[in-house]
Amino acid sequence: MRHAVKTRMHAKPDLDRIRRSMELVARFAPDRPAGVTVRSAGLAGVPVEWNAPSGLVTDRRILYLHGGGFVSGSPRTHRGIAGRIARGAAARVAVIDYRLAPEHPFPAGLDDAAAAYRALLDRGVSPRRLAIVGDSAGGNLVFALLLKLKAEGVAMPAAAVAMSPFVDMTGSGESLRANAALDPLLHVEGLPAVIGAYAPHCDPKNPLLSPLFGDLGGLPACLIQCGSDEILRDDAVRMQRALQASGVPAELEVWSEMPHVWQAFARIIPEARTALDRICRFLRERLPDEDAAQRAA
């Protein structure tokens, strides 16, 4: 990770190199875990990859928002983590191929996420059996989407999960400095360029860019995971505190010596498998599966 990604995240990163690095890092995760089927589709014109447990009928749905600094990543790079969540949570997981910056700056990616979410509701998916999950920049989009849905009066999902979320674009987290050398993946000096690509000339305190500063009351139950050594650790810590202060049930897990979005490396890191098991248990508890109940009856 230090060689393939962090060395490319300097003050003036080459976005093409970052995108190639994301593809390189994704090779450490299996494209499709055993027992999972993948098919391409669309939601309100947004390309989607559905990951589903093979042979399982379930009405649980998860909208997955992938990471990649808003400038990279795709459903393909996240098949491993999405497939493991689909299998472990007994749910169908839709990974959307939202538009990337700088070609499509804010709010393009957020608008795609909102369109896909509304399309799921329009297709009859119950919000009680729907969750939003994301990692890194996708974790930002998880909370930004929830704030957008709240402002527009759209029914909230039953739960949300964010892995190493990037929720403060003002750069006020102490871990940005304290963990600058420890973090094996993210480079502090590269963040301004990524933010500039995604949200040029925007106020970084806009809650749809920095959800940490939003009105979080009324959001669904959340689970947040982060690593102790990553520069975004304090984003996760402060987000959980802000959610709790707003009356939102929010759990935080800070995993010792884990890097940014270590869950993606479940094939080689035991702690990644354990963390994903925890996420899947949280999702199963929060999303009742009525089809399974009816079959049991």
Report the candidate in 25, 13, 11 with the shortest Cα–Cα distance to residue 264.
25
Other C-beta atoms closer than 10 Å to the C-beta of 297 total 5
The tokens describing 37, both together, are 């089927």
Question: What is the pairing mode between strands 92-96 and 250-255?
Answer: unpaired
- In the block, which residue shows the tokens 């400038």? 71
253 noted as active-site residue: no
21 noted as active-site residue: no
Q: 90 and 104 in contact (C-beta within 8 Å)?
A: no
Sheet of 46-53, strand order: 36-43, 46-53, 92-96, 61-65, 130-135, 159-163, 221-227, 250-255
Q: 1 and 259 in contact (C-beta within 8 Å)?
A: yes
10 noted as active-site residue: no
The tokens describing 140, both together, are 């930002």
Q: Which of the following is catalytic: 136, 164, 175, 210?
A: 136
b/e map 247-262, b = 16+ CB within 10 Å: ebebebbebeebbbbb
Active site residue ranges: 136, 230, 260
